[in-house]
Amino acid sequence: MNAWLAQWQAAMEMLAWPIALLALPLPLLLRWALPPARQSSPALRVPYGHRLDPVAQGASRGVRGAGPGWLAWLAWAALCLAAARPQVLGDPVQPPRVGRDLMLALDLSGSMSEIDMELGSRAVDRLTAAKAVIADFLSRRDGDRVALLVFGRRAYALTPLTLDRESVREQLDDSVVGLAGQETAIGDAIALAVKRLRSQPAEQRVLILLTDGVNTAGILDPLKAAELARSEGVRVHTIAFGGEGSLSLFGFRLPMPGAGDEIDEATLQRVAELTGGKSFRARDTNELAGIYAQIDRMEPIRRPGKALRPRLERYPWPLGAAFVLALLAFAWRGRRA
C-alpha cells in the first residue's frame, strides 16, 4: 500500500497542474444531470408498440457501447492529461554564475570625520563621501557575495559574505566614525578579512580596503598581514582616501591644515603589490567614484552555479493523441451514418 502511494505521489509530482484531472468525469456528470433529448421526428403509432420497446432499448445500448463512444472517451482523457501538463526531469545542468567574493574594509577612525570632501555641491566629511560611493558600487555588483568589515582601533566584521546587498548597505549606513575606535588598525583589518575569505575558492578572494591614515593600532603589521593574505590567495586593493590640505567652498579653496599629511601611501602600495592587487589614491569624491568604477570593470570570475534539473514539458504528446482520437471518432460516426 505504501509503495502504491509513493508511486502515485511521484506521478502527481510529474504534473504541473494535477487539478485538471478532476475534469475526467465531467461528461458522465453532464449526461446524468441533463435531461434526455426529445425526439422531434414523426412517429408511427401501432397497437403493439410495447412489444418493440425492449428491442429499441437493446439497440440503443448497443449504439452507446459501440462505435465512436470509446474513442471519444479516450480523446477526452488524453485532453485532460494534456491540461495537467505532464513533465519530466531533464539532465542536470550547472548554469555559470558571474561574480566574486568581495570583502569591503572601511576605515572608521577619528580622521574620517575630516570635512574636506564635497558631495552634491556641499561640504561633507570623508566617511559620508565614502559611504555614498560604496553604496553606489554595491548597486552594480549583482552576482557578487559581499561582506562589510570596519576597523579603527580594532577590526570587526559587520556582515558575512552574502548575496543580500541590501543588508550590507544598511550596515554601511549605520556605521559612524569611532564605532571601532579612534585609531587605525590596518594590519588587523587585513588579517580578519583573510580569515573570513580563507574558506572561499582562491581565485575569488578579494579585499577592497579604504583608509585615510597610517597603521597606529592593532597586533599585526600591515606588511605582515599582506604576506598572510598572499599565502592565502587574497588579492588586496588599497585605496588611500583624503584631501590635499584644502577644500573648495563656493568656488574658493580653503586651507585645511594637517589634511592629507597622514596617509601612508607607500605601505598601502606595498600591500597591494604583495597580494597581486592594485593601489589607488583618491583626493576627492569624484576620484573615489572613479576608482570603484574601475574595480567594478575588472573581469569577473565565472563559477558554476547550483546544479539544476530542468523540467521538460510533455503535454504535446497527449494533446496530439486527443486530436487524433477525436478525428477517428468523427470519422467512425460518419461511416456508420
CATH tag for 96-304 (out of 3.40.50.410, 3.40.50.720, 3.30.230.10, 3.40.50.1000): 3.40.50.410
Assigned C-alpha cell, 63: 449504439
Q: Note the pLDDT of residue 87.
A: 85
Q: Note the pLDDT of residue 256.
A: 47
Residue 280: beta bridge partners?
Answer: 239
Domain boundaries, the chain: 2-31+52-91+309-336, 96-304
Q: What is the pLDDT of residues 123-134, one digit of tens each?
A: 999 999 999 999
Q: Note the pLDDT of residue 65.
A: 43
Low-confidence stretches of the chain (pLDDT < 50) are 58-67, 246-261
Phi, psi of 115 (to 5 degrees): -95, 80
Task: Report the C-alpha gap between 181 and 210 in whole angstroms.
Answer: 16
Task: Report the C-alpha gap between 20 and 27 in whole angstroms.
Answer: 14
β-strands 87-89, 311-313: how paired?
antiparallel
Q: What is the pLDDT of residues 42-58, one digit of tens each?
A: 555 656 555 555 555 54
